Structure 1
Amino acid sequence: MTLHDLSEKDVIQIKTGENLGRIDDLLFDEHAAKLQSVILRGRGHLFGLLGYEEDLIIPWESIRNIGTDVIMVDAEPLPAQHRTKRCQ
């Protein structure tokens, strides 16, 4: 499976059923030669004109199942009101 294959799947939080987004990047530990986590870029507000939510980093160990359409994770995302905006 490639990063492109992973990026086409929605990431779903198992406990709440919330769609967290899609994988945009991976963190790789070059010393241990293993994947550390996946990165979901923060969602834009008004096409990014009003900033972005903070990126969500999910440890690789939190991924419970990779299906044909979705990736199920057991990770607690920060509530939207506590996430800070980033500007690009």
Structure 2
Amino acid sequence: MSESVKFYSEMERYEIINVNDGDRFNCLGNNDIIIDEDGNLKLLVLNDNKSKFGLFSKSEFVEVPWEYVKKIGSKTIIIDAEEKMLKRSR
């Protein structure tokens, strides 16, 4: 098997970082990936719960188009996206 192949079971612990503003979005396993009917990766749906009182606050989600994923490293997934380009939802 090629060394460039990464398994989701390994990547689910990778932390997601936006190099544009330094935001961190927890691990891939705590977020979602949207895949289209052809098997192409389309979106990362990131849980952006900044509150320390997670039990009482509503989660906010950030949709990151796959083209903003710049690098998948050994322990991180690097995205480069400006805040105004991201769709937020609850």
TM-score (norm 1): 0.70
Give structure 2 stretches of 5+ with no counterpart.
1-5
Q: CA RMSD in A?
A: 2.3
Q: The residue matched to 2:11 in structure 1 has which SS?
A: helix
Q: Tell me whether 1:29 sits opposite 2:36 in the alignment.
A: yes
Partner of 1:6: 11
Which of these residues, 61, 71, 74, is aligned with residue 65 of structure 1? 71
Post-superposition Cα deviations, 1:38-87, rounded to whole Å, max 9, x if no partner, equal 11123274553212331111111100000011111011346xxxx67x5x
Superposition deviation, residue 3 in structure 1: 3.0
Give 1:5's aligned amino acid.
Answer: E
Matches of 1:68 and 1:77, distance apart in 2: 25
Tell me whether 16-25 or 64-73 shows the greater mean CA deviation. 16-25
Kept in 1: contact 2:71–2:77 (CA 8 A) = yes
TM-score (norm 2): 0.68
Number of residue pairs aligned between Structure 1 and Structure 2: 80
Paired-residue identity, %: 28
Give 2:72's aligned amino acid.
Answer: I
Q: The residue matched to 1:52 in structure 2 has which SS?
A: coil
Give 2:36's aligned amino acid.
Answer: D
Kept in 2: contact 1:11–1:72 (CA 8 A) = yes
